[in-house]
Amino acid sequence: MKEELNVSSLEIVESDNKSTAYDVSGASAKLSYEPPASAIGKLPQNGNPIVSHKFGADPYALVHDGRVYIYSTYDVLEYDAAGEVKDNSYGSINRLSVVSSSDLMNWTDHGFINVAGPKGEAKWATQSWAPAAAHKVIDGKDKFFLYFANNASGIGVLTSDSPTGPWIDPIGKPLISRSAPAAEGVTWLFDPAVLVDDDGKGYIYFGGGVPEGKDEKPDTARVMQLGDDMISVVGDAAVIPAPFMFEDAGINKVGGTYYYTYCSNFYTGVRPEGSPPAGEIAYMTSNNPMGPWTYQGTILKNPGHFFGVGGNNHHAMFQFEDEWYIAYHAQTLSKAMGVPKGYRSTHLNKVSFGADGAIQEITADLKGVPQLHKLDPFVRVGAETLAWSAGIDALPQKMDDRGTAVAEVAIADIHNGDWTAVAGVDFGAGASTFTASVAGKSDDAVIELRLDSPDGKLIGSLAVPEADGSSSWSEATTAVEGAEGVHDLYFVFKGKADTELFTFNAWQFGK
């Protein structure tokens, strides 16, 4: 249903709880109403997948300064000559994705890292897969390290002073190359994981693949000590004798025990009793980061068991605010889009340990994990912080409020009926104003502010300033009414049909 509207002044008209008029600064305008777009993949109230406006495979988690940063392989839809989505080839992936959260429900999109290829930091590499991240204080300064796989032929490293970059390639070559002694006997030289131990020493875990006839004992997993600078390796690599090893190294230290986790292979023959089933996350333990290791069992079944669409199983465990979690990928978003062809999304669920230190079996689901903290609407929030969304994209912009060229991320590709939402917003005793930082594209556009659903209670409408031809952000403010207590907050975008409306940079409420 569409309804043509003529607007000349500030007026909020409720009809079946839908507003039909907006402040357009006295100018006559014609807007079309369309029902809000439907969420795909991550449905409201669910936490999984963590975002639905883009994919994110092979997740790795870094906890720093009260936030969890998830680094992932930047899966992007590939198309055939007829314009149909084809199977993910992985061959053109040369970026890594970064999102972060302080509450595990609202995720901030930090965009992507150009890693491999002519436009990347590591120009010697052709692909960037399966990142691992680490933090270490060196010479009194925070340093961040991002390890990645150049397809299955080498492992590189980038460094930064921030978990979100900018990143540089400090050595201009692979950290571990195919010709290195550490790669001997490794079928797939990829899937790194990194541990910085309590004494400051770093260790890198990598490898995978199944040599012909060695399904039960591939012996293709390795661990090696990193140099104090974290961008070199020292000594020899040790074999990790992981039963039915396939790929996907993971490493954690809990108490004095080291947990090495991995994905089992897809051997279809008979497996000895006690062996990991196909495509599951298994684990081994040791009292030393280099081993020896003892096989313990499996903790997470293949995604196909939970979501009806399988594939490889890739994970990372992390501790955040005294709880343990597992990040893993599954094709739930691509399945919901009707293209379950290898495009994967990150999910989170809780991890529990028994009294004996055993990892309890994990149940994967779309509900995810509880929101840890309420969101404060009275501080400036980037619009790229999302719990749920429909129809939009989050893209790097080349401007700030002074017109300075930067690479911040903002909500873009906004059309009539699209929306974004944040969860668990605590308005307290109430809010009186709403301010947004926007850049207009269409002459007529508004942001509806609604509580708890895309067509929920309307608390205000903000007219987006008309485009002035510049690339600067504009600040616009409107009055709000009825925003009290804790609610999910929806930003519903309205304007001319079939027109890109504006770009949304940040927002804040006033008391």
Single-letter amino acid code for the residue at 35? P
d(CA 197, CA 207): 21
**How many Cβ atoms are within 10 Å of 354's Cβ, its own excluded?**
8
Burial class (CB in 10 A: 0-12, 13-18, 19+), 269: exposed
Would the CA dihedral through 381, 387, 392, 396 be positive or negative?
A: positive
d(CA 501, CA 142): 40
C-alpha distance across the termini of the chain, in Å: 36
The pair of structure tokens assigned to 74 is 């930047």
Active site amino acids: 58, 247
**How many Cβ atoms are within 10 Å of 372's Cβ, its own excluded?**
15
Sheet holding 323-330, edge to edge: 315-320, 323-330, 345-351
**How many Cβ atoms are within 10 Å of 264's Cβ, its own excluded?**
25
Q: Give the Å distances, CA to CA, from 77 to 14, 55, 74, 124.
A: 40, 9, 10, 25
